[in-house]
Amino acid sequence: MINQSLSFLIKCSQTGQVWLFNCPEGCQHILNQKRIKIHQIRHIILTNLEIDNLAGIIGLLSSLSLSCRVKTINIYGPPGLLHYLHFARKYSQTTFKYKLIIHIINHEYIDTSLSYLLYSQPVDNHKHSLLYIFLEKEKIGRFQIRKAQIYGIQPGPFYGFLKIQKKYLLPDGNIVSGKHFTHKHAKGLKLLYVPGEYTYRLPFELTSDFTHIVQ
């Protein structure tokens, strides 16, 4: 938590990318204290446009311009976000040296990639506050090299197929299954964010499936 604003981070175990929920004043100082490198941030999610949640965003975006590792930044938020960023950038005379993609949530929205799913929807008629569901996809368990060596399986392309748990029929009739040579799958993070002043029936009916609930 950062100051009195509801701000938190999600670090994806598969990609190492950091998702920042809200960006209050002093956010960069807190990130430094937590030893989070700002160039890891690829996505910024704003739950509403209250000043406590976005006072530090222009400063953070300006600092990210100093990093040559940053190619694209995605920002998600309610209507009015684009105008705020435009006027704040103009007032501060700031330029961004990367591609800035702004996603305005006017209605139900779904963003998917190879490693995550982000669902968002306004929860009030004025579209001031947003509900978010973040799902990180399941990760395949690590391959047990020593166990494979015990069974006489030599390193090579065959390892790669076993890592994704494929099955093979050997010339002697035995079946080799990759699931016996990998650790258990690691479940991805499942996070539900619901604005504290609102209730939303469907997400709360599904709360048993989430690892984290923020309200």
Active site residue 209: no
CA distance 203 to 128: 19
Q: How far apart are the first and last CA of the chain?
A: 13
Q: For residue 19, what are its two tokens? A: 């998702």
Burial class (CB in 10 A: 0-12, 13-18, 19+), 134: buried
CA distance 205 to 208: 8
CA distance 50 to 52: 5
Using DSSP bridges, classify how beta strands 167-169 and 212-214 pair: parallel, antiparallel or unpaired: unpaired
* 3-class secondary-structure state, position 121: strand
- Residue 73: strand pairing partners: 100
CA distance 53 to 7: 7
Q: Active-site positions?
A: 52
